[in-house]
Chain A
Amino acid sequence: MSHHRVAARNLAYVYPDGHPALDGVNFEIGHGESVAVIGGNGAGKSTLLLHLNGVLRPTRGEVRIGDFPITPQNLAEIRRTVGTIFQDADDQLFMPSVFEDVAFGLAHQGLAADELAARVMQALETVGAAHLRDRPPYRLSGGEKRAVAIAGVLAMQPAILVMDEPSSGLDPRARRRLIQLLAGFDHTKIIATHDLDLVIDLCPRVLILHAGRIVADGTPDALFADRALLERCNLEMPLSQSRR
């Protein structure tokens, strides 16, 4: 059993106010793959991501993590396996200090205090934020917040990493550091992003989401060369390619 696989079958979701967000999404992502989900605003990227750890329940269809459908009974297990990093780091860093925030997920797993501390520091060291352990979150820069948010998810040792706009709001240096960090991860990665240049650096496979459906599934080279497709989906060629 490989719990690093993610699959969506005819996934559909309608918001409580009647607004349809996803309309029959199908994909299969294998062990260790690094996949980008791109699309214009309102295409449904964030909504899709929230289905991958059971925060949103589909109106129709299903999501399977490692061949298991998401049910209320296995939510805890799913959320240990799928680590989600949200767009706004301030939504994720809600504890009084960096250390406590990174420890939040682990604290639900009933670990002994020293093991917990060890895992927390290890995660912080991986993202280069060990020196921030006692800082309150409101005194962190944008890049530091993003790093700590990632550490908070890494500490839980998930098999799958889901990220919503990880590079948004970062200055060029922080962004470069983030890309280097993510490049070193073995996890299955699903990244929703506007940053097409990051996609080229990190993701050999791209899914384009438009009006709640996957309209394209291929390599960055193939998809980014198709100008008509990009325009239809409210996208543009990445900077690095448009110069050619």
Chain B
Amino acid sequence: MHMADALLSPAVGTTMWVASAVTLACCSKRLRKDPRDSLVPLMGVLGAFVFAAQMINFTIPGTGSSGHIGGGILLSILLDGPAAFVVIASVLTVQALFFADGGLLALGANIFNLGVLPCFIAYPLIYRPLVKAGGATPSRSRLMFATVFATVIGLQLGALGVVFETHLSGISSLPLDTFLLLMQPIHLAIGLVEGAATAALVAFILQARPDLIDGIPAVTARSSVGFPTRIVALFAVLSLATGGVFSGFASAHPDGLEWSIEQVTGKPEVESETTPVHQWLAQLQERIAPMPDYAFPAQESGKPAEANWPAIDAGTSTAGVLGGLGTLVFVSALAWLLRRRRAPSGTA
């Protein structure tokens, strides 16, 4: 469920990047004060481990499909939130670069969905309280249940994030309810599978090295005091809630600005002032329009075509198609010409 650049708008993409970058900065500050100087190599090899582990599957009996671990909850259990988050961010970055699993603009969103949500919501708000309730030595089944539950919730939240980010971007015209109906159940199943895998792994480690698992006294001693977990969690929840409310608003009201204007002035559009600068700006804005409108004609019958789309006429359309083909031919020819490469030259 990695987001792709193609489904993002610049506004949503950069907002998610800001969210992830802020979290990263907080974590980096926190980790610098962490007394465990063994963190650097530990995080490094654990990142490599999670990356490689995601490429091995186990079969789910009876279904013929396979599953694997995600890593967010496992890393949080081993390393605690901030360090786990940095590791996840690094795994996602390398996935984006090596496998094209999620784009570079979408990386911010992916780090948020698959990093912030599991490490700073699911882990501290689901796993830890559940395990703490088990007293000084929580039972094995409690630990495993907490793991599965935290994984499931983490993935549900992550899927929600994908849905809102895609919907808000407006490139995909999948209606919100259909999207939710598709994503959430699928990720419930994925969450259960991933949770089972993570729990099984945790159980194995518990047997061999109980001191490593969070929930066991030696490890619980490490503190998250000082790290604004609650603030980050609140922030994450607010972002999602805002996304949900906003997109609900957006789908009901095709042109938010126009609607607001209508409410305020009683007229559909504010008459623009006629100074040349305003006109030039209006033209520029019409062309650049970074935030695409959200109206999808299928959802409100009878509504006229959106105001921002340039006037459609047959001549323009044919020119556009012809020009597009021409461009394609030109670029392909260039690519073919340039491909007469020199043999790979020596190292720099």
Residues of A at the B interface (CB closer than 8 Å) are 94, 134
Contacts and interface: CB of A to CB of B under 8 A. Distances in A.
Contacts of A134: 347-348
Contact of A94 (B41, B347, B348): B41
Nearest to A16: B211
B81 to A, nearest CB: 25
Contacts of B348: 134
Contacts of A94: 41, 44
Interface string B330-348: 0000000000000000011
A94 B348 CA distance: 22
A225 B41 CA distance: 44
Top 3 A-B pairs ranked by shortest CB distance? A134-B347, A94-B41, A94-B44
Contacts, number: 4
Consensus secondary structure, chain A interface: loop
B48 to A, nearest CB: 11
A134 B348 CA distance: 9
Nearest to B347: A134
A140 to B, nearest CB: 15
Nearest to B44: A94
Nearest to A17: B211
A94 B347 CA distance: 21
Nearest to B348: A134
A161 B214 CA distance: 40
4 contacts: A94-B41, A94-B44, A134-B347, A134-B348
Interface in B295-348: 347-348
Contacts of B347: 134
A94 B48 CA distance: 13
Interface string B25-66: 000000000000000010010000000000000000000000
Interface in B158-172: none
A55 B137 CA distance: 32
Contacts of B44: 94
A94 B41 CA distance: 8
A134 B41 CA distance: 22
A201 to B, nearest CB: 34
A94 B45 CA distance: 10
Nearest to B211: A16
Nearest to B40: A94
A93 to B, nearest CB: 12
Nearest to A91: B41
A131 B41 CA distance: 27
A134 B347 CA distance: 9
A134 B346 CA distance: 12
B263 to A, nearest CB: 58
B187 to A, nearest CB: 35
B38 to A, nearest CB: 11
Interface in B256-287: none
A76 to B, nearest CB: 14
B137 to A, nearest CB: 18
A94 B43 CA distance: 13
A94 B44 CA distance: 10
A134 B44 CA distance: 21
A94 B42 CA distance: 12
Nearest to B45: A94
